[in-house]
Chains A and B, each alone.
Chain A
Amino acid sequence: MYSEKISRETDHSEFKHDSALNIDDLIDSACSRIAPLWPLKHFVAVNPFFGLIDHTFQDASDTLARVIGSSLYMPRSYYLEQLESGRITDQDIEQAIRACGSSKSQENVRHALYLPAPMPNMGMASVSEVLDRVEGGIWTRFVMERISLHCAAYFDLGQALFAYPWKGKTLYQSWLKAASIDNSAAMMGLAEFKKNVAKLTEAPRAAIAWAVSKLGIPEVAIERYLHASLLGIGGWASWARYLRWQAELKGGGDDSLIDLLAIRLVWDVLLFEEKKSAALIARWRDMLASSMRDPSEKRRASAELDRIMLNAMEIGFQRTIISGIRSPKDFEKEKIRPSVQAAFCIDVRSELFRRALETVAPSAKTVGFAGFFGIFIEYVPLGAKSGNSHVPVIFNPAYKIHEEVRGAKQAEEERRRRIRIALSKTWKIFKLSASSCFSFVESAGFLYVTKLLSDSFGWTRPVPDPLRQGLDKSTIERTGPSLSARSDFPASGIPEQDRVDHAERILRAMSMTGNFARLVLLAGHGSSTVNNPHATGLDCGACAGQTGEASARVVAALLNLPEVRSGLKSRGIAIPEDTWFIAGLHDTCTDELTLFEAESVPQSLSEDLAQLRQWLEQAGDLSRMQRATLLGLSGVTDRGVESDVRRRSRDWSEVRPEWGLAGNAAFIAAPRFRTAGLDLEGRAFLHEYDWREDREFKILELIMTAPMVVANWINMQYYGSVVDNQHFGSGNKVLHNIVGGAIGVLEGNGGDLRVGLPLQSLHDGRQWVHEPLRLSVFIEAPRGAIEDIIGRHEIVRNLVNNGWIHLFQVDSPSGEISKWHPGHRWEMSAVEDRISAFEAAA
């Protein structure tokens, strides 16, 4: 589609006028290709190929190959290993060949796998990369380092103690200022650099246009070149994209990304101008020419092979799920009042725990729903000046909820906490500032003998727990969110007139409108780990990288209010008198589940509560045992596993506290009975959905545009981090170096800001723990309803039609499954294939 746009512009007669118009579009288009990066203080998953979903999966891979020499497939050796270990079978390949519409035979494929894959492209190289090839120098790293250092200083959230002198200026303006002072380039032999910087335009878009023409980039290649330049400093580009994302959520805008592009391109030109030599010019033209060639026949054949192997792996995975969903179900159980209901986040880690809970308590019913439980809150910790959003990152919070201490004077409690935090901050400044750090060492350095010991044994945390800092143990037990407005903040809390609406909306979205148990548990999740820069990435993504505690407690409290109950009754949701909602937090590192405000559970339910506690404990044991093999603890006793996961949650040297969402590969929106009893190995997002209760398919629309998209983001974050960790992952955790306070990590002492997941979250040292598979989505709903939503939402259309996810429809009540094919085609045969192969194998 972009070539069309460019071909219109190749008429040279109007070159000047048109290119001015054109270049702005190209800049915006290149910028939209970059995926945002959330800061470490609330790290959430992002699809790194977010800006490429309007391409087919294969086109995106080709684009990346031509831009940065990357690919969306694993190396040949990986697929070969899967073949040799039996993970990919002959039937998988056979079916994949058909699914890809290939004319290859199975023998062809097997044989071709052993041949060496073509060398990766150089892609659209920057001037510095070409110069490195001419001179054998260190220019690329040098330029990257200069830009990265500038970005770190400009965006710093509070690591540096000295104030940045150009606060308030744009990134590009501040760079112009700094670069006209900075002598680094001169030290590297670029004597004219500062002088040339002084001559630059102050307008970033004009600078980009100037650079593109100076470098002689052919028009057809401009967008790709801009895209490559941004990916050349991809980490900071992602951060700038995040700032734009946040600004747009609030209705504004942010052009740091364009500034960054301008800086990157200006560097290219200034380097080119000063190092110009016949060899450089020749190599440069060579690079431009080769980057414009279409992929060769050999490459295309190779891509086809990759495609077949990826599909083969996915088909093998889908087969077990399809067969499980199709197996006969017990509908009768649905009608009996469950002993307890427990709602969990759709997170794949919940699947394991839910299954365990259902195993130890067959009379219990579990439900899956996004972990913020549908309540849009910003949560303000006790004593803090501002709060954190606890809603999915595509939304804005609607209510400000304060953390409060029950049965205490809030002002006093706040004051106490503030004083403690202020004191610890004062001490920290004493430790770090230039005039006092030496005396700090001599007077207090010895304290670290005990600190080193107690941290080594996991008795203490290296720094205070951010959620509990400045609170007494007895206070912590009494803190929690409050629904009502505070007298000093009239705009806080959830107003009474809104409460019934929210309660109704939430219950309906959870398909929880009748047959309530006496005790209903709403369990958010979080992960307790220490000394882990990516800790918030293990918390609840639906709560914007916070734990699900606040949301679960708010919703439970809401649903226990008598006036809300009576309001719901008038709207057709009758919650029995004896039903009580209780909030909990599932610690995914230890599989312990904490219940909140258990003392307010009515006396009449005390036996149910005791029973629930016992079940939760047993379920914890069972899920830990299931995780044991992946944690390298097979053959260890129950207690041994329990004590080891506890250690992991407190060990400052632990780089694999838990496996997070590694393995994720499926998303299922259906009533739980469809999947009950199936071992989904903690690889599936489970969303409760009963289309018969869904008037006008509003809930289905929500599921397909929010949770499904978020699941795709998570899935692709893992996918990208595995297939190309260099560009879309964050490298080796033991080298991580937090930059900008809480922005992200560098690997080692410099280089680009890193995005995505660390290797240690994906690989156990011997093999990949995460299988890079695209998400297989199963939705139990009428075809027409699904098609309608695909038709109305571009993002959904792009995902399902361009091969970023596999979409399956589950028929009710038969459980028959058909696969969506782009062009409005549902296909049973592909699925039939999968099943017959499965049955033949069994």
Chain B
Amino acid sequence: MTAAITVDGLEVIFDRFRALKGVSLEVNSGESFGLVGESGSGKSTLLRAIAGLAPVASGSITVNGKKLGARRDKAFYREVQMVFQDPYGSLHPRQTVDRLLQEPLAIHGFADGEKRIQRALDEVGLGNGFRFRYSHQLSGGQRQRVAIARALILEPSILLLDEPTSALDASVQAEVLNLLEEVRRRRKLTFLMVSHDLAIITHMCERLMVMQSGKAVESLSAAQLVGHRVTEDYTRNLLRASEGFVRTG
């Protein structure tokens, strides 16, 4: 098995705040890997650092065997795409879906845009009827589908998912998670997915890493988590919390 993403001793510092304190991680090609933790644990920062959206102070990131520098080139973004948490904030409010999907194609100089846009929309289950709508005319779930279509249109091999369903209803969440699993299977994608919900991570990922205040607490497989075979108290707490409210006394 080859590594799709290797992160080694990564430090991210915002002004004087150390958001990531030496985190290492290896995601195999074709694998789905989860990052869990509370707000402020650095899980999103790690994802953003890989995408080139956070100031890396030290450490290294390697994607598909290529070590990344301070700037990401175009070839990187053909390989790695990201889906953000808030579908209300991540689509341009004054562009139609068609225009939104043309943007990455224009940047990367694809000629067969027409065909690709149609295929991308079909793939995420939206169809042609949504092509000339604005994002405010779509529901949250539909917007997230557009964001996924935009990520897939360049045919990347790695998808970075930052809480892709936390802004959605439980019922719409199921649809989007199913869609993500389906495209992953069909295109043999590598997923690196961030969520605060252990149930979602165990559903979607084979392995996961638990993070707390900028550090890795524990790495384990989904099966270990399901079997409650965890070693750290922090993970145990998260696990208990995800089982829902229990009245005491």
Q: Is the A/B pair a real complex? A: no
